Amino acid sequence: MVTSTHEVSHRIFAKHPESLAPVYEALGVPPPTKADIGEITPDATEIRPLERRVDTVLKVEPPEGEHYLLAIEAQTKRDPDKATNWAYYVAYLRATYDLPVLLVAVCRDRPTADWAAGPFECGVGPWTTQVTRPFVLGPQTVPEITDPSAAARRPGLAVLSAIVHSDSRRSAAILDAVADGWRSFDKDTVAYWFETMEIALANTPARAKWRELHMSVGSYYPGHGTLIEEKYLEGEAKGEAKGEAKGEAKDRATLILRVLEKHGVDVPEDIRDRVTSCTDLDTLMLWFDRSLTATTAEDLFAENEDGQAEGNQNQTSA
């Protein structure tokens, strides 16, 4: 069955080739840039009524060096049919495009990753006619991204890391680091990556943890039932603009306090009450911006250029 996690596990490479960094580092091959990659049809079906479809196929055309194809498969469990299917995919793509093929399998757990590495041989007696050896992106080959700056530099790889380590005891630490790193992005980029991660983790136990870290921003994946979409649709159905604004204010206040906590900043009770009781979204956004660099809780309320304390207006009890 095709799941959201399965889909993101292979689709992310088309738009974010930095996700393939472990492959190129292991092979000692220069990684492609986004401009070098073009997506081609994953359909490997012939005239006869037998459908075969690769998850993602990318054509890599670097300005220097050989051109080749990347055939990417997301694999969630052992499948005895894959040995035959993968051999067919490689042979079909090689014959159709007259280019060498690198088969990459993305696996969430070690047993599946160990199996997917093959080699899968086709032969008779002592003679091997064909060997299929996928390069596996799994817990053994994808690093655990626990540095926020690394998550910000390589967001695609951070998503892949969260997927393949979603069953690991380090999963929560990875998600915390990724969330911290991505909050340095602009609003639209934050919204895109936070929701991409939720879609990627849809069929994993790590999704609940990620939803706790999630922000209220516009949806990039309508119809997938993400936290963002649920909140939007709930508010639209009720038609209560006031209640919707209060909910967003509460989310922003919670996020401000969490950022201060993650930065090791002590928050006195009176300041905590001041933040949570504020309902002015512009004020809360200002405080959030300041929380990213604050060294004390009082830094949230720094004076503006006119010498007037910010954040004193438009506050009511929640």
The pLDDT tens digits of the residues spanning 80-135 come to: 888 899 999 999 999 999 999 999 999 989 999 999 999 999 988 889 999 999 99
Q: What share of the chain is helix, strand, coil (3-state, %, to 5)?
A: 50, 15, 35
DSSP per residue over 45-104, as a string? Answer: --SSS---B-SEEEEE--SSS--EEEEEEEESS--TTHHHHHHHHHHHHHHHH-S-EEEE
Phi, psi of 132 (to 5 degrees): -115, 120
Contact 140, 171 (CB under 8 A): no
Please report how many Cα atoms fall inside a 13 Å half-sphere around the Cα of residue 63, on the Cβ side. 3
**Residue with more model confidence, 67 or 48:** 67
pLDDT value for 51 = 52
Q: What number is the average pLDDT over the span 7-25?
A: 76
The single-letter DSSP state of residue 221 is S
Burial 52-65 (b: 16+ CB within 10 A, else e): eebbbbbbbebeee
Q: How many helices (H) and strands (E) does the chain have?
A: 13, 7
DSSP per residue over 136-193, as a string? Answer: EESTTTS-----HHHHHH-HHHHHHHHHHTTTSTTHHHHHHHHHHHHTTS-HHHHHHH
Rounded distance between C-alpha atoms, residue 263 and residue 4, angstroms = 33
CA-based nearest residue to 257, from 270, 244, 276: 276
Phi-psi region of 206 (alpha: psi -120 to 50; beta: other; left: phi over 0): alpha
Tell me which of 21-35, 90-104, 262-276, 293-307 is least confident. Answer: 293-307
Structure token pair of residue 119 = 């080699």
Average pLDDT along the chain: 80
Rounded distance between C-alpha atoms, residue 127 and residue 169, angstroms = 44
Residue 303 — very low, low, confident or very high, per pLDDT cuts 50/70/90?
Answer: low
pLDDT value for 151 = 93
Residue 11 — very low, low, confident or very high, per pLDDT cuts 50/70/90?
Answer: low
CB within 8 A of 113, min separation 6: which ones? 105, 107, 136, 138, 139, 140, 141
Q: What number is the average pLDDT over the span 15-38?
A: 83
Tell me which of 38-52, 130-144, 254-268, 276-290 is least confident. Answer: 38-52
Structure token pair of residue 7 = 């889909």
Q: Which residues pair with 122 in a beta bridge?
A: 130
pLDDT surpasses 90 at 140: yes
pLDDT surpasses 60 at 223: no
pLDDT value for 14 = 75
Q: What number is the average pLDDT over the span 76-80?
A: 89
